[in-house]
Each structure stands twice: as structure tokens, then as C-alpha cells.
Amino acid sequence: MAFDLAARLAERRAADLYRQRPLLETPQGPEVVVDGQPLLAFCSNDYLGLANHPEVIKAWRDGAERWGVGGGASHLVIGHSTPHHQVEEALAELTGRPRALLFSTGYMANLGAITALVGQGDTVLQDRLNHASLLDGGLLSGARFSRYLHNDPASLASRLDKASGNTLVVTDGVFSMDGDCADLPALAKVARARGAWLMVDDAHGLGTLGANGGGLVEHHGLGLEDVPVLIGTLGKACGTSGAFVAGSEALIEALVQFARPYIYTTSQPPALACATLKALALLRRESWRREHLAALIGQFREGAEQIGLTLMDSHTAIQPILVGDAGRAMALSRMLRERGLLVTAIRPPTVPAGSARLRVTLSAAHSEAQVQLLLNALAECYPQLESADA
């Protein structure tokens, strides 16, 4: 029997769930050209505006001059260069952990950490709204897998009572599609009381939260005993690429020995690590970026409330506008694009059925005037969407 891929694709189109890749023809930034059209973008995770920063670009260029462009081999063969090591030391300092381990992608970091820590006879418990990479890691680990109610310590506690073997509790720090933050102090308390380890993927909190940009864990002042396994990514607020796991000496050594996505892949380009080092320095030094971003978030939420938009419980750079139906979300996204604004519609299966939304992401590179342009367009378009449904 042949694979009927055409039928599967047609079915996805009919359900308004077909995905296409927009072609970006400029560097990351608020003003971009996508598919030949100049647009003001509100859909990038470049939260601090570092992806096209001249000092970061120069660090990459200088790094390539000194270190070449390829990692050459895996970290355990001959691919672990001085810039990689320096990034790990900088990340350990930023997160307040003894050590950090550099991965090529966030997906690999999550798969590597979970599958190295738990297996058959163990238990992994995850928030229902965790990122796909976390869920995949849990399923691939072979451990008993269960999901607790979103951000609900009581639900987690009831599942912990039934856990067996080594138990790993896994949560996003900032949830990527809702923008809300995990109640880390409560989750850590529940996990510690039952001898479980808490693993936090702070991909969307690192750089934007915490006095020094250390993320949600720093914001709450949680130590190594509260969050033994901390994940962060470098392709969002840092503006470069890659990811890391931070934790104890024993944790990092265990991952070096047992994390297959780390062991069996070529290291990232050393020049990329040079760029990341510069981005981390800017992230820590230029606190005005976090302050400006926080002001834009307040501006957007206040303006959206006046328009009557349904926002979600988020005070982060991720500001979803809940629409509900996938077709309506696509229609609103198209209306904004016709007015020169790029805001991506997020549909199932990325989010639950009936909760399609426009995922607005704000950046320190945006100006107040640009955020006001978005609000003005939403004030014009949203009533038209509502009237079309009537």
C-alpha cells in the first residue's frame, strides 16, 4: 500500500491547518522583507534585539577568522574548542550553577537531558502545555510518562504520589504559546518534598527575566536544590543559536557520558560560540533592553484591553491574542498583513483545538511608535472580524 500523502495534505488544507514557510529576505529585526513584501514584524523570538547587533556580528566574523567555520567533530573527539568552553563558563556564571553544557539546539538539549536521567522503571511528569521537545524527550526515555494539569502543583502532587523509581518533573519556565510563567517556587516545593528532581526549560525567560537576565529561576531566587536541571536556549533573547543545560558537576558529567544527542553530533561552529559570548555580555550589561521590553509589554496590554481583545495571562514578551477558530485566526493575520504587519497565526496541533491565536512577540528592538501601529491596526481589523461572524 502506498503512502497517501496527498490526501493527508489536502485534509490539513481543508481544516485551515496547512503550514507554509515565509521567506525572510532581510536580517532579523522589526522591519523585514518577507516574500518580497516590506513588513513590520511581531513574530520573532529575538526578544532583546541582538540577532543583528553589530558587535555580535563582528564577534562572529573575528571568530571565523581565528577558528574557521566548522566544529569538525563531536565534543568528545576533537570538536570541543576554547570558545565552546568559554560559553559554558559564561552560562554557568549567568545562571548561578557550577557548570553548563553546550548543545547545538534546544530540542537536542531537552531530549538529551531527559533520556540521560530517566529510563525504564523511572517516572517523568510533565506540564500539559510543555514544548513538543520536552514531551518527545519524555516519551523517548522509556520512563513511565504522565502529564499534570497546567501549572497546577496539586495535580503534580497527586501524580508524584503514584510515581516510582527516579522521578523527573519537567516544566517550561515561560510557556511558548501562552506566555504565562510556571509557578516554580510551588512546583519546586512539591517536587522536593517527594524526592523528585525539577527540570525547567527557560528558553523564553532567559535574558528577559531576572535582574541580570538569568531568567525565571533567577527572578524567583531559586537555587540548585530547587531546580537541579536548568535548560536555556541561545536562539531567542541571546540572538544566536544553540542551547545548554546548567546544573551540578555530577549532572554535567553524567550528560557528557550518557546524553546521546550530545555525544553523537558535531559541535556547533566555534565562531558561533564567539558571537554568543558577545551576546551574553551585552545581555548582562545592557539592562535597558529588559526595561524597554517591559515598558512595551505594558503598552501593548493596556492598548489591547481598550480595543477589547482577549489576551492571555502573560506579562512576558509573548502576548497571544486568543481568537478560537483556526480560520478566524488566519483571517485576522491576513488582514494585518495587508496593512504591513506580520503576526503569525498559531493553530492546532501546536495549541489545543478551539484555542487558535495570534502570537504577538515583542522585542527591545521595537519602538513605542511601532507597537502603537500594531494596536491601531488591531483596532481597525478586529471589529471587521467580529462583524463578519455576525
Residue 2 confidence (pLDDT):
75
Residues annotated within the binding site for substrate are: 19, 131, 350
- The band of 388, judged by pLDDT with boundaries at 50, 70 and 90, is low
Q: What percentage of the chain has pLDDT greater than the value 70?
A: 99
Do strands 344-346 and 341-342 pair parallel, antiparallel, or not at all (unpaired)? Answer: unpaired
Do strands 344-346 and 356-361 pair parallel, antiparallel, or not at all (unpaired)? Answer: antiparallel
Rounded Cα–Cα distance for residues 35 and 291 (Å)? 33
Q: What is the mean pLDDT of residues 331-355?
A: 93
In 82-183, alpha helices (H) = 82-95, 106-117, 132-141, 153-160
Residue 149 confidence (pLDDT):
98
Rounded Cα–Cα distance for residues 42 and 373 (Å)? 11
Q: What is the mean pLDDT of residues 170-187?
A: 97
Q: What is the pTM of this model?
A: 0.94
Q: What is the mean pLDDT of residues 157-166?
A: 97
Residue 92 confidence (pLDDT):
98
What are the DSSP calls for 69-97, one per residue?
Answer: S---SBIIIII--HHHHHHHHHHHHHHT-
Residue 349 confidence (pLDDT):
87
Contacts of 52 (CB under 8 A, 6+ apart): 27, 28, 29, 46, 239
Question: pLDDT digits over 119-158, tens only?
Answer: 999 999 999 999 999 999 999 999 999 999 999 999 999 9
Neighbours of 388 (CB within 10 A): 10
Residue 1 confidence (pLDDT):
56
Residues annotated within the binding site are: 19, 106-107, 131, 176, 204, 233, 350
Residues annotated within the binding site for pyridoxal 5'-phosphate are: 106-107, 176, 204, 233
Residue 389 confidence (pLDDT):
63
- The band of 166, judged by pLDDT with boundaries at 50, 70 and 90, is very high
Beta bridge partners of 126: 147, 170
Q: What is the mean pLDDT of residues 321-325?
A: 93
Catalytic residues: 176, 204, 236
Question: pLDDT digits over 238-265, tens only?
Answer: 999 999 999 999 999 999 999 999 999 9
Contacts of 78 (CB under 8 A, 6+ apart): 72
